Amino acid sequence: MKLPSTVLSSLLAGMAVAALAAPAQAQDAPAAAPAAAATPAAAATPAVGATVYDPQGAEVGKIASVANGVAVIDTGANKASVAVESIGTGTQGPAIGYTRAQLDAAVAAASTEAAAALTAALVAGAEVKSQDGVAVGTIKEVNASGRVVINRSSGKPVALPKDTLTMKDGGVALLFTAAQFEEAVGKSALAAPASQPGK
């Protein structure tokens, strides 16, 4: 799958040999699905752009996207993923059981927990997979600059910023598919001076 030029540029921007810059959406940790408010059984799938309210009628945020039964609510400070079935219908429109502050706090807590789990998993020899489940290599080390050095299954090692990795199915995973990763690595290798060795 070929990457759009804007996405590829963002991947290449932070690469040292082939160190990827994380996509913006990857920064938003999903919150635990909040309890439904009002009448969830009667609620229709919320539309993108719709305002979501809390039980008191105050605005929580807007629906940024809806896919596969999950709605992403943008509070302005965070983007939280919640199950569509947990969004009910209040007097003003779509409603959830969280206030904006509670939803932001849930996102922060989920992000902290996820970061701790990832840090614990970044050990030498740990397998790294792509988002589509392809084994791309194993971790060599976390170097002095905080980058995660990965011995690729094919090709030179790469040093990636920690925020390009996540936990998935109990293991370490890239935030990209195998094809996207290899495309970015290839583009970077062509752009980098030959004197710059991999870590």
Please answer whether residues 163 and 149 qualify as being in contact, where contact means their C-beta atoms are separated by less than 8 angstroms. Answer: no
pLDDT greater than 80 at residue 190: no
Same domain, 170 and 153: yes
Residue 163 lies in a domain: yes
Same domain, 134 and 175: yes
**Summary mean pLDDT of the chain:** 79
At 189 the pLDDT is 53
Of 117, 146, 167, at which residue does a domain stop?
A: 117
- Per-state percent for the chain, helix, strand, coil, to nearest 5: 30, 30, 45
Same domain, 95 and 56: yes
At 43 the pLDDT is 56
Report the range of poorest mean pLDDT among 6-15, 39-48, 68-77, 146-155: 6-15
**Residue 157 belongs to domain with CATH number:** 2.30.30.240
**Residue 76 belongs to domain with CATH number:** 2.30.30
CB neighbour burial string for 101-128, b if at least 16 within 10 angstroms, e if fewer: eebbebbeebbeeeeeebeebeeeeeeb
Residues found in the chain: 199
In the chain, the number of structural domains is 2
Residue 153, domain extent: 5-26+120-191
Residue 81 lies in a domain: yes
Q: How confident is the model at residue 154 (pLDDT cuts 50, 70, 90)?
A: confident
Residue 33 lies in a domain: no
- Residues 94-152: tens digit of each pLDDT: 999 999 999 999 999 999 999 999 999 999 999 999 999 999 999 999 999 999 999 99
What DSSP state is assigned to residue 161?
A: -
Distance CA(23)–CA(178), nearest Å, equals 15
Same domain, 45 and 112: yes
Residue 199 lies in a domain: no
Neighbours of 13 (CB within 10 A): 11
- Residues 27-53: tens digit of each pLDDT: 344 444 444 444 444 457 889 999 999
Asked whether the whole model's pTM tops 0.85, one would answer no
